[in-house]
Amino acid sequence: MIIQRSLPYLANSQSYFEKIRHLGDAVFLDSGRPKCPWGRFDIIAAAPVEVLEVSSEDATAFDKLQQLYNKYQSDHTEIESLPFQGGVIGHFSYDLGRSNESLPSLADDFSDLPDMRVGMYLWAVVADHHEKRTTLVTDSRVDAESLQKIEALLAHSTTAKSTPAKKSASFSLKRPFKANMTEPEYTQKLAKVDDYIHSGDCYQVNFAQRFNSEYTGDAWSAYKALREIAPTPYSAFIESETSQILSLSPEQFLESKQQQVTTKPIKGTRPRSANALEDQRLKQELADSIKDRAENLMIVDLMRNDLSKVCTHNSVKVPKLFNIESYANVHHKVSTVTGTLQKNCSPISLLEKCFPGGSITGAPKIRAMEIIEELEPHRRSIYCGSIGYISLCGRMDTSITIRTLLCEDNHVYCWAGGGIVADSVNEMEYEETFAKVNNLLDCLERTIS
């Protein structure tokens, strides 16, 4: 049974997160409101009753996730305005794909971030920005004393000062971001990708570079600054005792709602322009680009294939193909693929069979992942993985963690890449990586004293 208590509705939910952050293992699944008008739900939680950490070396990673879910599963009825009614929230790093595929181990595994880290959260603040309603959702298994404490913390979020953060409230980079490849090194790697494509190994490879710097202070302050300049509907801030994940992702990976599955792969990008006419020209150029259409279609076909593993026969459809969506710094080409989940398949099975997302690997997926491992100097960690929830009511929604930063041991990492195909132009591909994350890197570099 779930208990619902109304809270004051706030167009910006971040003050609710600040109230409960100190409870530990805090999560903020952020729809980008108020600046992102199509975002709907914010989900905020902390103090999970259990935490599951799994390495990609564990072939039973998704089985363990299913076992954790089953342990707390209930017969909650899904409510449109309450998609999360207690359940699993956490991250799934790109390399979790190793748990069900045999891949080489060549790139530097630089991070201590677990490949999967999720918590079982039995209460959450859910803000529905369409209905302008905020609700404290609590499972009846939460004891009365804990519930009273949570309610007291949230009671005056509109006026009271935020609970002090665990660290300094400020954030400061020590130096500018540095890429893990020079431009000549990057283009050399692209030439190798091109060789693989023309040799018939693959059709497309998503290739990325990593940027890193050092910082002092509180990553939450950095996230608040980033969400102001890059509001997106699949943003998130997740922290543990040893790391923080700051995600400003525009891309949905997998949604499962009453057996209906949706995925929205992004392939095709143009930068935004402050000049309205030039901005429209860039948008139209993306819409008309034959190369970007081909690139997008390859991934749509890959995702259709992945969904077909767990969806009923003939249910996989493509209701939207090559839509253009505009964000703060880029235009994207986005398609929508849907299907009906088989009755014997759980959302976790769906996640396992489709992981990692095809839009950030290439096609065919496994060969593309082998090439990525060979050519990228460092493992991807959280980049191109996923963040999301699996509610005890059966609903799941997850992102692809592009435009995502990892803060760990006072180092901050950020990645950017793009899909490489037979007619890619190296210089344009290199510049596209900067177009995707320059607004994030520039924002944080302004904190250098």
**What are the residue numbers of the active site?**
251, 267
The DSSP code for 446 is T
Residue 43 bridge partners (DSSP)? 29, 126
336 touches 320 (CB < 8 A): yes
CB 413 within 8 A of CB 405: yes
Copy the structure tokens of residue 376. 């990228």
CA distance 195 to 191: 6
Which amino acid is located at 189 in the chain? K
Whether residue 88 contacts residue 69, with contact meaning beta carbons closer than 8 Å, is answered with yes
Q: How far is residue 279's CA from residue 285's CA, in Å, rounded to a whole number?
A: 10
Enclosing H/E stretch for 387: strand 386-391
**Region for residue 362 given its phi and psi (left: phi exceeds 0; alpha: psi -120 to 50; beta: otherwise):** left
CA distance 213 to 229: 20
